Structure formats: structure tokens, C-alpha cells
Amino acid sequence: MIFKFKDIDIYYEDYGIKSKEPILFLHGWEGSHLSFKFFSDKLSSVHRCINLDFPPFENSSMPTYPLTVDDYSNMVFELLKALKIEKVNIVAHSFGGRVAINLAAKTKIVKSLLLTGCAGIKKNSVKKKIKIYNYKFLKFLTKIKIYPKSKLNNFGSPEYKKLNPIMKQTFKNIVNYNQINLLKKIEVPTLLVWGTNDQATPFYFTKIFKRNIKDCEVIKFENCSHFAYLEKPKLFLDILFSYFNSNDKK
């Protein structure tokens, strides 16, 4: 189905047992409603499940202006309101976790969170700082025509380079948004499921989340990467059933 948010078409699927409080699945950057499809299909026997495509991925349309994390969380909030949902449980991976953090900290619609490889905390490594300094210095040299502008394209991640101008600014808005100050505002039960070998959102992030979120627990997936939930799907599915069944009783 399609939900209209301003001039953006957002694709979503809503299925399962309608009598339960829904579980909303929020995928990572460049993912889609298919990212959690295996799990939502299994859970739909006892829960109402909602999957969506963040724009511009899969079946959702390309934005006509750069988006922020607030824009993404607002579009999800409006979709839930349109579906007449008062409380929702959220499962989120990576970028989807950014949206989940915003929703939990800024609205009353979230009942519980399960975050895996969640983004939202800026990594301030020395290596990254040097890279940013070099880029800014070379950019200055292009202005005074000492360094060829075409070579600046060598900087940036592969996923950034292939974006159009609108999505490049969207990507910048997202990665530069540090949500650490929002964590203390999260008052709902939060479970972190994290791969110990995660390079994109390192395992030490869990200590920061646990220190700042009042009701927060961590489950380690040993020797797993940023996509830990896909590397151990049976274990992740068992955790989902257990966690949300216990939440339904509260």
C-alpha cells in the first residue's frame, strides 16, 4: 500500500493478527521492507506487523528535497496516526534505529524498542578527523586552482558517491546528526542486539546506549557483523518472540 507524506509516496505492508499491538520494522540505509520480511512473516501469526520502504528505496518515491532524520521520523509518525495506531513496538537496524530513537524520545507512540546495529552516535576517530581535514584543505586548493576539482571525487564512501544531489545532502544530514542527547529521553524498555564484530556501529556503542537509556539491556551476537540479525536468524527470531510476548503482558 502507499501512504502519501507531503509529495513523497511511502510503500508499506500491514498484515498479521490485528488484535495485538503492532510491531513496526525499520530497515537500514539502502535496505527495504524486505530487510525484515523473514521475521515479520513469522511473527505475523501472533502479531500485527508493519514493514515499510524509507524513501527513496525499493517501492517508495524519490524525495524532491533533502530530508533529515526528523523528516523520516515524522513520516513514520504520520503513517502510524493514519493507521490509527496509538502504541507501537519497534524493531530497527542501523539507520532505522536513528528514526526509532527520534520517535521514542520525541513522541509517546513507542511502547518498546529492539535495536540492532543502531546508528545515531558519531564516531570521532583520529583517522576520520585527518580525512576530513585533508578533504577541506584540498577543497580550498581547488578554489585557488592549485588542485584539480575532479580529484575530489576520490573522497567519500562508495554509497555516497553514487547518490544524486538531493540524496547526497540527505545523507550528510543523517550522518552528521548526533542523537546521543536524545537517549536520556527514552523511557520505554529497550533491548540491544549487537554483533561483537560490527565495524559500522562498533560494539562499544552499546555501553553508551546502556549508560543513557534508563531501561536498557544488551544481547551479544559473538563474531557477528553489522548484519548480526541476518547472520543468526533463528536466534534473532527467538529473541523477537520472547521479547514482544513479554511486552504484551505489561
Of 62, 56, 123, 120, nearest in space to 93 by CA: 120
pLDDT bracket for residue 248 (50, 70, 90): low
Q: What are phi and psi of 95, to 5 degrees?
A: -55, -40
pLDDT tens column, 98-139: 999 999 999 999 999 999 999 999 875 434 543 444 444 445
In the block, cell 539507520 appears at 95
pLDDT of residue 126: 39
Domain 2-122+178-248 homologous superfamily, CATH? Alpha/Beta hydrolase fold, catalytic domain (3.40.50.1820)
The residues spanned by each domain of the chain are 2-122+178-248, 124-175
Average pLDDT over residues 74-97: 97
Confidence at residue 21, expressed as pLDDT on a 0 to 100 scale: 85
Encode pLDDT of 204-217 as tens digits: 999 999 999 999 99
Alpha-carbon gap, residue 233 to 70, rounded angstroms: 30
User: In the prediction, which pLDDT does 48 show?
Assistant: 96
Residue 137, SS3 per DSSP: helix
Question: Per the omega criterion (within 30 degrees of 0), is the bond before 165 cis?
Answer: no
pTM value > 0.85: yes
